[in-house]
């Protein structure tokens, strides 16, 4: 059985495609790529059909990650097929929980940085869109740090499904 994870930010051109790319690499490194499906979307459809922001692509590629991506908007019907929906900030968390058709679906939504024990109380990944490359680098650092804990949690779920 495939475990499905979707990362969600605002427009699906900066943070969520970055998280998708980093987490896909972590899943492959762990040998779970046949067991875990990774995707991303935005809470809004402003950039639907567009590629990731060029700064996102540049930072990902500079760090050895794939930058290929096409933006799309998250749909409430997706909750039925997803096991985990990862929000990049508290605003996305609230929006996704409001979209959730059931309380069980709302329970599938988690903040990415909640998987980083060093994150402290600030669990938002700041939107780098209106800044320079340094904001995208900072975003990548946060995503990489949280991805380790997320991989541990997903690996436990995958093992539990196989049992």
In this structure, the strands spanning 109-111 and 36-42 are: unpaired
Q: Which of 15, 26, 55, 113 is catalytic?
A: 15
Q: Which of 4, 72, 97, 127 is catalytic?
A: 127
Q: Which of 9, 53, 105, 113 is catalytic?
A: 9
Taking Cα atoms as reference points, which of 112, 96, 137, 134 lies closest to residue 16? 112
- Could you confirm whether 148 is annotated as catalytic? no
- Could you confirm whether 97 is annotated as catalytic? no
C-alpha–C-alpha distance, residues 128 and 131, integer Å: 6
C-alpha–C-alpha distance, residues 57 and 54, integer Å: 5
**For the sheet containing 3-9, what is the strand order?**
36-42, 3-9, 84-87, 109-111
CA atoms within 13 A on the CB side of 69: 36
- Could you confirm whether 89 is annotated as catalytic? no
Residue 57, judged by CB atoms within 10 A of its CB (0-12, 13-18, 19+), counts as: buried
**Which residues are marked as active site?**
9, 15, 127
């Amino acid at each position: 059985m495939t475990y499905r994870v979707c990362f969600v930010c605002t427009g699906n051109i900066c943070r969520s495609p970055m998280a998708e790319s980093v987490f896909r690499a972590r899943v492959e490194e762990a040998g779970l790529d046949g067991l875990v499906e990774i995707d991303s979307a935005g809470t809004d459809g402003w950039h639907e059909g567009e590629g990731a922001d060029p700064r996102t692509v540049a930072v990902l590629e500079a760090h050895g990650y794939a930058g290929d991506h096409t933006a799309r908007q998250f749909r409430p019907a997706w909750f039925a097929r997803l096991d985990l929906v990862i929000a990049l900030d508290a605003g996305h968390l609230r929006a996704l929980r409001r979209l959730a058709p059931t309380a069980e679906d709302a329970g599938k939504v988690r903040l990415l940085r909640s998987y980083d024990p060093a994150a402290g109380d600030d669990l938002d990944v700041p939107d780098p869109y209106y800044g320079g490359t340094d904001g995208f680098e900072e975003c990548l650092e946060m995503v990489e740090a949280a991805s380790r804990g997320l991989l541990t949690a997903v690996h436990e779920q995958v093992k539990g499904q196989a049992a």
